[in-house]
Amino acid sequence: MEQIDRAKQFFGEAKQELKKVTWPTRPQVVQSTWVVLLVTIVLAIFLGLTDLLISKFIGFILK
């Protein structure tokens, strides 16, 4: 029974803490999502080009 009481206490405290959280607004979430997608795309392009250049350079050296 002690474990059940501890679990109830844990979830009660978690609920109290979640009430203190300042949740972002929908426009903030949408804006943050676009920023993450843009950064991901830019990094993917950068890494792809870097990989391509390095592989071409290594291929040139090995020939």
The tokens of 61 are what? Answer: 């050296």
pTM (2 d.p.): 0.67
Overall average pLDDT of the 15-24 stretch: 95
More confident residue, 63 or 51: 51
Backbone angles phi, psi at 24, to 5 degrees: -70, 155
What's the pLDDT tens digit per position in 24-61?
999 999 999 999 999 999 999 999 999 999 999 999 99
DSSP H helical ranges for 1-63: 2-20, 26-62
pLDDT at 63 > cutoff 90: no
* pLDDT confidence bin for 1, thresholds 50/70/90: confident
